Chains A and B, each alone.
Chain A
Amino acid sequence: MGIKPLLTKDFATENLKQLAVYEKTGGYTGFKKAVEMQPDALVDLVKASGLRGRGGAGFPTGNKWSFLPKGMYPRYLVCNADESEPGCFKDRYLMENSPHQVLEGILIASYAIGCNLAFIYIRGEYLPQTEALEAAIDEARQAGYLGKNVLGKGYDIDVILHRGAGAYICGEETAMLTSLEGYRGEPRLKPPFPAVKGLYGKPTVVNNVETVCNLPHIVLNGADWFKAIGTPTGSGTRLWCMSGHVNRPGNYEMENGTPIRELIEEHGGGVWKNRKLKAFQPGGASMMVLLPEHLDVGLDFDAIAKAGSLAGAGAMVVMDETTCMVDAARRYVKFFEHESCGKCTPCREGTYWMANIFDRFEGGEAKAGDIDLLLDIGYNIDGRSFCPLGDASTWFPRSVIKFFRNEFQEHIAEKGCPFKKSVQEAVA
């Protein structure tokens, strides 16, 4: 348990972005080994490794691959690099430090599922990361890892780097495919799942950046090696993006199952300014808040779910005792309001009204019934919106009302934010 650099082990190497340097660290040996194997054996290997998708849902990667209907071609792989979840910055870190690792993972996944054209959908705001990947793709093409008959094995593969243009919803897999087809990035109904009817109506696998980065290591070291890391239902490591009120924010690659306490107190250097921990939020903007009593929960999909939140995309937002939980929830709700695609009514209207009511709390205009009104709206969005964006917009605010209802009441009683007032008084 603890820090376990697997994906990030060579990140201190200078110029790791360059192909020659990446190859010196063992780069592309995983892909070379993979193309010696039968694709089906590769799928079985990843299944046996227990690798679960790192984008948020934690779905077993090998299983996802095996859902592709037999004999239907062409098939596509789309690497989800649209990282936009507030609190998350791990894919950015992986892409800018080792773009070839991302690419090698994509090549292995493509070979395993029998795909000859893969896409990387990267968010528009990640310009330096786009440039890093672009350069890596060019280098790999020149070195013969990409193109026709790669490594003389008769396998053709090309990768298109596709840049988004500022829409969080495109991180949702069906919205991503719609966007990639050139339309407004609105989600589609599932089923049919992308594995059956995805990009251009063809069988498609969507895998997150961090997920594919695990593949070269699994191929090289085997399923048993990977399974021995982490927990029985959560093999391997994850990158945790720590932010907020800690002394040392940043990305930490931790073995799954490591207690949250170790991440925050030991590696993050604890809560800043010698203050007390009030709450923290794993997973990103969508996920429910946890309390200091949850510090001994393990960094793991299942353990965090059992504690009442979700591991999501691996964020860890730390909040100290001076944090206004109402304002924190207000920011997230405004984010979802801004990012709602407008396709379905519960999400489009619900996030709008939640944001309005949160503004009333911060502006000192909230009324006694507004707390329950928020809960009512949340109840009517969750499970009733078209895609998970709407559902997720309600999880954090509702969990904050559950644990910090008194702060909402204080906002009503004091006609404004008690935390801002105390700060202003301290300054005056």
Chain B
Amino acid sequence: MPLAKPTVTQIQELAARYPSKQSAIIPALWAVQHEQGYVTDAAMSEIAQHLGLPPSLIEATASFYSMFLTRPEGRHDVVICVNAPCMLRGADEMAAYLERQLGVRDGATTADGAITWHSTIECLGACGGAPMMQVDHRFEENLTPERIDAIIERLRTDPLPGSPHKGEGVEAPTPNKGEDVAQPKKPARPRARKN
């Protein structure tokens, strides 16, 4: 689907804002993901067009950064940290609980399309409130099974995509419904694309 007009305008403004228009690639990718929920090849070509750069350059950059999604996910994203500082305070147990309550494996989306979850080894910067997770990029700290239940309940009943990362303002993307087998979090090698 072609980019919406406000997104195109935003990309053009970004190109003018930086001393080099190439610097606008990452912010442009954010703008696209904000609008469409994830970044398609077609959208990357469009970015290339508006910035006057080859499409290969856009994808070379996009594929390096783990936060750019290449396929639709659930309305809300939940990321739970399992690095050492969180592990010390029971993150493994919380991740296992989350998995059980959601009923889908690490990296997958719930059958109702509400939640995509994964665990991460990348510290999210809330070790003082461990165990923690990010829900639509907002911090949820000092997790307990009860708190996780309340968060899941809230997300399942919230019909709107978690703003501003899941296609705010447009129809929610079709999630990979009921996917039970997780996409491998990261190809074993080569590591062309992270996460």
Secondary structure of the B contact surface, majority rule: loop
Q: Is A249 a contact partner of B22 (Cβ separation < 8 A)?
A: no
Contacts of A245 in B (CB 8 A): 88-89
Q: Is B128 a contact partner of A167 (Cβ separation < 8 A)?
A: no
Q: Is B128 a contact partner of A165 (Cβ separation < 8 A)?
A: no
Complex Cα–Cα for A251 and B125 (A): 12
Contacts of B64 in A (CB 8 A): 167, 184-185, 341
Render A304-337 as a binary contact track against B, CB cut-off 8 A, 1 for contact.
0000000000010111000100011001101100
Q: How far is the CB of A268 from chain B (nearest CB, A)?
A: 10
Partner of A332, one of B60, B67, B84, B134: B84
Q: How far is the CB of B131 from chain A (nearest CB, A)?
A: 11
Contacts of A86 in B (CB 8 A): 83-85, 123, 127
Complex Cα–Cα for A285 and B61 (A): 27
Query: Does B174 lie at the interface of the complex (its beta carbon under 8 Å from any beta carbon of A)?
Result: no
Query: Does B8 lie at the interface of the complex (its beta carbon under 8 Å from any beta carbon of A)?
Result: no
Interface 9-residue window, one of A22-30, A122-130, A372-380: A122-130
Tally inter-chain residue pairs, CB-CB below 8 A: 152
**Which bracket fits the contact residues of A?**
35 or more
Query: Does B143 lie at the interface of the complex (its beta carbon under 8 Å from any beta carbon of A)?
Result: no
> Given that A182-B23, A184-B61 are contacting pairs, would A334 and B89 also be in contact in the complex, using a CB cutoff of 8 Å?
no
Render B178-195 as a binary contact track against A, CB cut-off 8 A, 1 for contact.
000000001001110011
Contacts of B127 in A (CB 8 A): 86-89, 241, 243-244, 249, 315, 317
Complex Cα–Cα for A319 and B82 (A): 15
Contacts of B130 in A (CB 8 A): 243-244, 249
Query: Does A92 lie at the interface of the complex (its beta carbon under 8 Å from any beta carbon of B)?
Result: yes
Contacts of B191 in A (CB 8 A): 342, 348
Interface 9-residue window, one of A156-164, A190-198, A224-232: A156-164
Query: Does B122 lie at the interface of the complex (its beta carbon under 8 Å from any beta carbon of A)?
Result: yes
Give the interface of B toward A (CB within 8 A): 17-20, 22-27, 29-30, 57, 60-61, 63-68, 82-85, 87-89, 121-130, 134, 137-139, 186, 189-191, 194-195
Closest 9 pairs (CB-CB, A-B): A243-B127, A165-B65, A182-B22, A86-B123, A166-B67, A184-B64, A127-B137, A166-B66, A182-B25
Give the interface of A toward B (CB within 8 A): 74, 83-89, 92, 117, 123-128, 160, 162-168, 179-185, 200, 241-245, 249-251, 285, 315, 317-319, 323, 327-328, 331-332, 334-335, 338-339, 341-342, 348, 352
